Amino acid sequence: MSHLTITRFSAILLASLALVACGGGTDDDLDKRGTPTSVNATLATLPIEALSQAEIDSLLYMREEEKLAGDVYTRMDALWGRSVPVFSNITASEATHTEAVRQLLQRYSLPDPAAGNTVGVFQNPDLQALYNQLVADGSVSLIDALKVGVHIEELDMVDINTHLARVDNQDIRRVYESLLQGSRNHLRAYYQTLLNQGGSYTPQYLSQAEFDAIVNSAMERG
């Protein structure tokens, strides 16, 4: 790959990872506390390294998992967006998440499992089943929809950390670490909005201590 191509990729990825890890609770300032997360400007200098099978599998899975988050939030915003802005705000951020992973697929000439798929359509059968279940759960009430948002971000964090333990390519790790920070901010936003609406949530994937440490800390800045 030429230096020009690498530089162009990096510019696109840096732009796509200006993640607005937004809020959206009833407190108007919550939106403003969601601040951009960016990949380090030195991404252009990172090498294109050989991919292990674990890294290939990881990129393909993460591409669809990030799409799942955005697709579910799109559905939830259509149902509950008049009540709270959080779904709309985070849907926009999720579009940059999935685009960042797509750019990595392009960089390594890997097929895009989400190419041509509309909202709610996935190649991975497990993610398809999860999408169907989450949309059904979130369609019951606004409280349930907000719980779905917390659920997705909690699961995303666990999955990203699992993938980080299996990949060593510097560019992949840089993107995943940025996605992880965005997910922590999204979790904070959904959970605060849930509390504001009178709801509650018990962690399903993180320990209670890990969950509390995230939601009781401030939005992170890139």
SS (H, E, C) 27-45: CCHHHHHCCEECCCHHHHH
Q: What is the mean pLDDT of the chain?
A: 84
Domain count, the chain: 1
Closest CA to 217 of 185, 171, 179, 174: 185
Range of the domain at 145: 3-36+54-215
Is 222 domain-assigned?
no
CATH (domain of 103)? 1.20.1260.10
Which residues lie closer than 8 Å to 212 by C-beta, 6 or more apart? none
In a domain, 42, yes or no: no
pLDDT tens digits for range 174-213: 999 999 999 999 999 999 999 999 999 999 999 999 999 9
Q: Is residue 47 part of a domain?
A: no
Tens place of pLDDT per residue across the chain (222 aa): 444 443 443 443 443 343 333 443 333 333 333 333 344 344 567 888 999 999 999 999 999 999 999 999 999 999 999 999 999 999 988 888 888 899 899 899 999 999 999 999 999 999 999 999 999 999 999 999 999 999 999 999 999 999 999 999 999 999 999 999 999 999 999 999 999 999 999 999 999 999 999 999 999 986
Residue 220: inside a domain? no
* Within-domain flag for 130: yes
The string of pLDDT tens digits covering residues 157-178 is 999 999 999 999 999 999 999 9
